[in-house]
Protein backbone atom coordinates (compact mmCIF):
# COMPACT_ATOMS: atom_id res chain seq x y z
CA UNK A 1 0.00 0.00 0.00
CA UNK A 2 1.35 3.42 -0.97
CA UNK A 3 1.01 6.44 1.29
CA UNK A 4 -1.70 8.07 -0.84
CA UNK A 5 -3.67 4.79 -0.83
CA UNK A 6 -3.43 4.60 2.96
CA UNK A 7 -4.76 8.16 3.25
CA UNK A 8 -7.60 7.41 0.87
CA UNK A 9 -8.58 4.33 2.88
CA UNK A 10 -8.43 6.27 6.14
CA UNK A 11 -10.56 9.09 4.73
CA UNK A 12 -13.29 6.69 3.61
CA UNK A 13 -13.18 4.74 6.88
CA UNK A 14 -13.42 7.85 9.06
CA UNK A 15 -16.22 9.39 7.01
CA UNK A 16 -18.18 6.15 7.30
CA UNK A 17 -17.77 6.32 11.07
CA UNK A 18 -18.81 9.98 11.34
CA UNK A 19 -15.32 11.32 12.05
CA UNK A 20 -13.25 14.10 10.48
CA UNK A 21 -11.57 12.54 7.44
CA UNK A 22 -8.53 14.83 7.87
CA UNK A 23 -7.62 13.01 11.08
CA UNK A 24 -6.00 10.36 8.89
CA UNK A 25 -3.28 12.84 7.90
CA UNK A 26 -2.41 13.62 11.54
CA UNK A 27 -2.26 9.94 12.43
CA UNK A 28 -0.12 9.05 9.41
CA UNK A 29 2.31 11.90 10.08
CA UNK A 30 2.65 10.53 13.61
CA UNK A 31 3.32 6.99 12.36
CA UNK A 32 5.84 8.23 9.79
CA UNK A 33 7.53 10.61 12.23
CA UNK A 34 7.19 13.51 9.79
CA UNK A 35 5.15 16.65 9.19
CA UNK A 36 2.43 17.19 6.59
CA UNK A 37 4.88 18.60 4.02
CA UNK A 38 7.17 15.58 4.39
CA UNK A 39 4.26 13.21 4.01
CA UNK A 40 2.87 14.96 0.92
CA UNK A 41 6.28 14.87 -0.75
CA UNK A 42 6.31 11.09 -0.47
CA UNK A 43 2.73 10.19 -1.38
CA UNK A 44 3.80 7.55 -3.91
CA UNK A 45 6.23 5.81 -1.56
CA UNK A 46 5.36 2.37 -0.22
CA UNK A 47 4.15 2.29 3.39
CA UNK A 48 6.11 -0.47 5.20
CA UNK A 49 3.90 -3.28 6.50
CA UNK A 50 4.65 -2.53 10.15
CA UNK A 51 3.71 1.15 9.79
CA UNK A 52 0.65 0.23 7.73
CA UNK A 53 -0.56 -2.02 10.54
CA UNK A 54 0.05 0.65 13.18
CA UNK A 55 -1.73 3.28 11.06
CA UNK A 56 -4.78 1.11 10.45
CA UNK A 57 -5.03 0.35 14.17
CA UNK A 58 -4.92 4.06 15.09
CA UNK A 59 -7.51 4.98 12.45
CA UNK A 60 -9.83 2.25 13.72
CA UNK A 61 -9.39 3.46 17.31
CA UNK A 62 -10.28 7.00 16.28
CA UNK A 63 -13.27 5.60 14.41
CA UNK A 64 -14.36 4.09 17.74
CA UNK A 65 -14.23 7.56 19.32
CA UNK A 66 -10.78 7.92 20.91
CA UNK A 67 -9.54 11.49 20.25
CA UNK A 68 -6.58 11.80 17.89
CA UNK A 69 -4.61 13.72 20.53
CA UNK A 70 -4.83 10.85 23.00
CA UNK A 71 -3.76 8.39 20.31
CA UNK A 72 -0.65 10.35 19.34
CA UNK A 73 -0.05 11.64 22.89
CA UNK A 74 0.16 15.38 22.29
CA UNK A 75 -1.55 18.57 21.13
CA UNK A 76 -0.07 21.85 19.89
CA UNK A 77 -0.92 24.92 21.94
CA UNK A 78 0.45 28.44 21.50
CA UNK A 79 3.13 27.02 19.19
CA UNK A 80 4.32 24.42 21.71
CA UNK A 81 3.81 20.69 21.92
CA UNK A 82 2.02 19.56 25.08
CA UNK A 83 1.82 15.94 26.18
CA UNK A 84 -1.78 14.87 26.84
CA UNK A 85 -3.48 11.71 28.01
CA UNK A 86 -6.93 10.78 29.27
CA UNK A 87 -6.23 12.39 32.66
CA UNK A 88 -6.28 15.89 31.15
CA UNK A 89 -8.50 17.98 28.91
CA UNK A 90 -7.15 18.46 25.39
CA UNK A 91 -6.11 22.15 25.08
CA UNK A 92 -8.40 24.15 22.76
CA UNK A 93 -7.59 27.11 20.47
CA UNK A 94 -10.09 29.30 22.37
CA UNK A 95 -7.89 29.08 25.44
CA UNK A 96 -5.02 30.57 23.43
CA UNK A 97 -7.22 33.67 23.10
CA UNK A 98 -7.63 33.75 26.89
CA UNK A 99 -3.83 33.81 27.26
CA UNK A 100 -3.49 36.64 24.74
CA UNK A 101 -6.03 38.63 26.76
CA UNK A 102 -4.21 37.98 30.03
CA UNK A 103 -0.78 38.94 28.66
CA UNK A 104 -2.14 42.15 27.10
CA UNK A 105 -3.85 43.24 30.31
CA UNK A 106 -0.80 42.47 32.45
CA UNK A 107 1.39 44.55 30.11
CA UNK A 108 -1.08 47.45 30.13
CA UNK A 109 -1.59 47.50 33.90
CA UNK A 110 1.78 46.47 35.32
CA UNK A 111 4.35 46.59 32.52
CA UNK A 112 7.39 44.47 33.45
CA UNK A 113 6.61 44.12 37.15
CA UNK A 114 7.07 40.76 38.86
CA UNK A 115 3.61 39.38 39.61
CA UNK A 116 2.21 36.42 41.51
CA UNK A 117 0.00 34.47 39.11
CA UNK A 118 -2.10 31.36 39.70
CA UNK A 119 -3.74 29.10 37.11
CA UNK A 120 -6.52 27.14 38.79
CA UNK A 121 -7.43 23.69 37.46
CA UNK A 122 -4.34 23.32 35.32
CA UNK A 123 -4.91 19.97 33.58
CA UNK A 124 -2.09 19.64 31.05
CA UNK A 125 -0.50 22.85 32.36
CA UNK A 126 -1.12 24.65 29.07
CA UNK A 127 -2.17 27.99 30.62
CA UNK A 128 0.39 28.15 33.43
CA UNK A 129 3.32 27.00 31.31
CA UNK A 130 2.48 29.32 28.42
CA UNK A 131 2.18 32.33 30.72
CA UNK A 132 5.49 31.50 32.41
CA UNK A 133 7.29 31.14 29.08
CA UNK A 134 5.71 34.18 27.41
CA UNK A 135 6.38 36.53 30.34
CA UNK A 136 9.42 35.55 32.47
CA UNK A 137 8.51 38.27 35.03
CA UNK A 138 5.55 36.20 36.19
CA UNK A 139 5.88 33.95 39.23
CA UNK A 140 3.44 31.27 38.14
CA UNK A 141 1.81 28.73 40.43
CA UNK A 142 -0.86 26.25 39.47
CA UNK A 143 -3.37 24.01 41.22
CA UNK A 144 -5.25 20.86 40.30
CA UNK A 145 -7.41 18.53 42.36
CA UNK A 146 -6.17 15.45 40.47
CA UNK A 147 -2.62 14.16 41.12
CA UNK A 148 -2.75 12.42 37.72
CA UNK A 149 -3.29 15.76 35.97
CA UNK A 150 -0.48 17.40 37.93
CA UNK A 151 1.87 14.64 36.81
CA UNK A 152 1.14 15.47 33.16
CA UNK A 153 1.52 19.22 33.81
CA UNK A 154 4.85 18.71 35.59
CA UNK A 155 6.11 16.64 32.67
CA UNK A 156 5.13 19.39 30.23
CA UNK A 157 6.81 22.08 32.33
CA UNK A 158 10.00 20.04 32.44
CA UNK A 159 9.99 19.30 28.71
CA UNK A 160 9.27 22.92 27.78
CA UNK A 161 11.62 24.48 30.33
CA UNK A 162 8.99 26.44 32.27
CA UNK A 163 9.38 27.50 35.91
CA UNK A 164 6.02 26.76 37.52
CA UNK A 165 5.14 25.82 41.11
CA UNK A 166 2.60 23.01 41.41
CA UNK A 167 0.04 22.55 44.17
CA UNK A 168 -2.36 19.67 44.73
CA UNK A 169 -5.63 21.09 46.00
CA UNK A 170 -9.19 22.22 45.37
CA UNK A 171 -9.50 25.63 43.67
CA UNK A 172 -7.72 28.29 45.75
CA UNK A 173 -7.28 26.16 48.89
CA UNK A 174 -3.42 26.10 48.79
CA UNK A 175 -3.36 29.93 48.90
CA UNK A 176 -6.14 30.18 51.48
CA UNK A 177 -4.18 27.84 53.75
CA UNK A 178 -0.83 29.59 53.30
CA UNK A 179 -2.17 33.15 53.33
CA UNK A 180 -0.27 33.87 50.12
CA UNK A 181 -1.71 36.76 48.09
CA UNK A 182 -2.12 36.74 44.31
CA UNK A 183 -2.06 39.49 41.70
CA UNK A 184 -3.50 37.46 38.82
CA UNK A 185 -5.87 34.48 38.86
CA UNK A 186 -6.61 32.68 35.62
CA UNK A 187 -8.91 29.71 35.20
CA UNK A 188 -10.59 27.60 32.56
CA UNK A 189 -12.82 25.71 34.99
CA UNK A 190 -15.37 23.00 34.17
CA UNK A 191 -18.32 24.95 32.77
CA UNK A 192 -20.49 22.58 30.73
CA UNK A 193 -24.01 22.13 32.19
CA UNK A 194 -24.72 18.50 33.07
CA UNK A 195 -27.62 18.23 30.61
CA UNK A 196 -25.47 19.60 27.79
CA UNK A 197 -22.65 17.18 28.64
CA UNK A 198 -25.06 14.26 28.16
CA UNK A 199 -25.51 15.35 24.53
CA UNK A 200 -21.82 15.81 23.69
CA UNK A 201 -20.01 13.76 21.08
CA UNK A 202 -18.76 10.44 22.44
CA UNK A 203 -15.24 11.53 21.43
CA UNK A 204 -15.44 14.10 24.24
CA UNK A 205 -17.95 12.56 26.64
CA UNK A 206 -16.50 9.07 26.84
CA UNK A 207 -12.80 9.94 26.77
CA UNK A 208 -12.02 13.38 28.24
CA UNK A 209 -12.19 13.62 32.06
CA UNK A 210 -15.66 14.55 33.34
CA UNK A 211 -14.10 16.47 36.26
CA UNK A 212 -12.58 18.89 33.72
CA UNK A 213 -15.82 19.44 31.81
CA UNK A 214 -18.99 19.53 33.92
CA UNK A 215 -19.76 22.53 36.14
CA UNK A 216 -23.03 21.44 37.76
CA UNK A 217 -26.61 21.75 36.55
CA UNK A 218 -26.13 25.17 34.93
CA UNK A 219 -22.37 25.00 34.45
CA UNK A 220 -21.69 27.89 36.86
CA UNK A 221 -20.87 26.05 40.09
CA UNK A 222 -17.14 26.71 39.98
CA UNK A 223 -17.56 30.43 39.28
CA UNK A 224 -19.81 30.69 42.35
CA UNK A 225 -17.14 29.04 44.47
CA UNK A 226 -14.52 31.41 43.07
CA UNK A 227 -16.58 34.38 44.24
CA UNK A 228 -16.33 33.12 47.83
CA UNK A 229 -12.59 32.36 47.69
CA UNK A 230 -11.16 35.12 45.44
CA UNK A 231 -11.67 38.04 47.89
CA UNK A 232 -9.57 36.16 50.44
CA UNK A 233 -6.49 35.72 48.22
CA UNK A 234 -6.36 38.66 45.80
CA UNK A 235 -4.12 41.69 46.27
CA UNK A 236 -5.79 45.12 46.29
CA UNK A 237 -4.78 45.55 42.64
CA UNK A 238 -5.60 42.47 40.59
CA UNK A 239 -6.64 40.75 37.36
CA UNK A 240 -9.09 37.84 37.20
CA UNK A 241 -9.48 36.01 33.90
CA UNK A 242 -11.97 33.23 33.21
CA UNK A 243 -12.82 31.14 30.20
CA UNK A 244 -16.58 30.56 30.08
CA UNK A 245 -19.06 28.56 28.05
CA UNK A 246 -21.03 30.23 25.27
CA UNK A 247 -23.94 32.15 26.81
CA UNK A 248 -22.37 32.33 30.29
CA UNK A 249 -20.47 35.61 29.88
CA UNK A 250 -23.12 37.94 31.30
CA UNK A 251 -23.74 35.71 34.34
CA UNK A 252 -20.05 35.43 35.23
CA UNK A 253 -19.50 39.16 34.65
CA UNK A 254 -22.41 39.87 36.98
CA UNK A 255 -20.89 37.64 39.67
CA UNK A 256 -17.56 39.46 39.44
CA UNK A 257 -19.24 42.90 39.60
CA UNK A 258 -21.22 41.88 42.67
CA UNK A 259 -18.11 40.47 44.36
CA UNK A 260 -15.77 43.33 43.35
CA UNK A 261 -17.86 46.53 42.95
CA UNK A 262 -14.74 48.64 42.23
CA UNK A 263 -13.40 46.39 39.47
CA UNK A 264 -13.88 46.86 35.74
CA UNK A 265 -15.40 43.66 34.36
CA UNK A 266 -15.85 42.85 30.68
CA UNK A 267 -16.98 39.98 28.44
CA UNK A 268 -14.77 39.27 25.43
CA UNK A 269 -15.88 37.27 22.40
CA UNK A 270 -13.69 34.66 20.71
CA UNK A 271 -12.77 34.35 17.05
CA UNK A 272 -16.02 32.43 16.45
CA UNK A 273 -18.15 35.25 17.88
CA UNK A 274 -18.99 33.46 21.14
CA UNK A 275 -18.73 35.02 24.61
CA UNK A 276 -15.71 33.04 25.76
CA UNK A 277 -13.69 35.19 28.20
CA UNK A 278 -14.53 37.34 31.19
CA UNK A 279 -11.94 39.69 32.70
CA UNK A 280 -12.05 41.78 35.86
CA UNK A 281 -9.35 44.38 36.58
CA UNK A 282 -8.93 46.48 39.73
DSSP codes of every residue in 138-182: EEEEEEES-HHHHHHHHHHHHHHT--EEEEESSTTHHHHHHT--E
- Is the domain 88-281 a CATH 3.30.565.10 member? no
- Residues 170-196 have pLDDT tens digits of 999 999 999 999 999 999 987 776 666
Write down the pLDDT at residue 201. Answer: 65
Q: Which range, of 12-21, 129-138, 273-282, averages the lowest pLDDT?
A: 12-21
* Residue 249 annotated in ligand binding: no
* Residue 67 annotated in ligand binding: no
pLDDT range class, residue 210, cuts 50, 70, 90: low
Whether the pLDDT of residue 161 is over 70: the answer is yes
More confident residue, 234 or 199: 234
End-to-end CA distance of the chain: 62
Cβ(142)–Cβ(153) under 8 Å?
A: yes
- Give the domain ranges of the chain: 3-64, 88-281
Half-sphere exposure of 225 (CA within 13 A, CB side): 15
- Residues 1-54 have pLDDT tens digits of 899 999 999 999 999 998 888 899 999 999 999 988 999 999 999 999 999 999
* Residue 125 annotated in ligand binding: yes
* Residue 165 annotated in ligand binding: no
pLDDT range class, residue 81, cuts 50, 70, 90: very high
* Residue 119 annotated in ligand binding: no
Whether the pLDDT of residue 145 is over 60: the answer is yes
* Residue 251 annotated in ligand binding: no
What is the pTM (predicted TM-score) of this model?
Answer: 0.88
* Residue 235 annotated in ligand binding: no
CB atoms within 10 A of CB 199: 8
* Residue 170 annotated in ligand binding: no
* CA–centroid distance for 36 within its chain: 24
More confident residue, 190 or 227: 227
Instruction: Report which listed range, 22-31, 87-96, 131-140, is most confident.
Output: 131-140
* Residue 35 annotated in ligand binding: no
More confident residue, 205 or 142: 142
Amino acid sequence: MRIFEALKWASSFLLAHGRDENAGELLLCHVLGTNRTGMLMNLREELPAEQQEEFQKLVQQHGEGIPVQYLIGYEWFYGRRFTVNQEVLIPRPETEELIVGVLERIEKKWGKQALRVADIGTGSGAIAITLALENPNLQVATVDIAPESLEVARQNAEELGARVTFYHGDLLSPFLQSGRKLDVVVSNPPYIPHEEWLGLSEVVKEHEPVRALVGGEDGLDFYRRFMVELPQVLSHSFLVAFEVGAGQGADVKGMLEATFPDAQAEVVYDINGKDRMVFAVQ
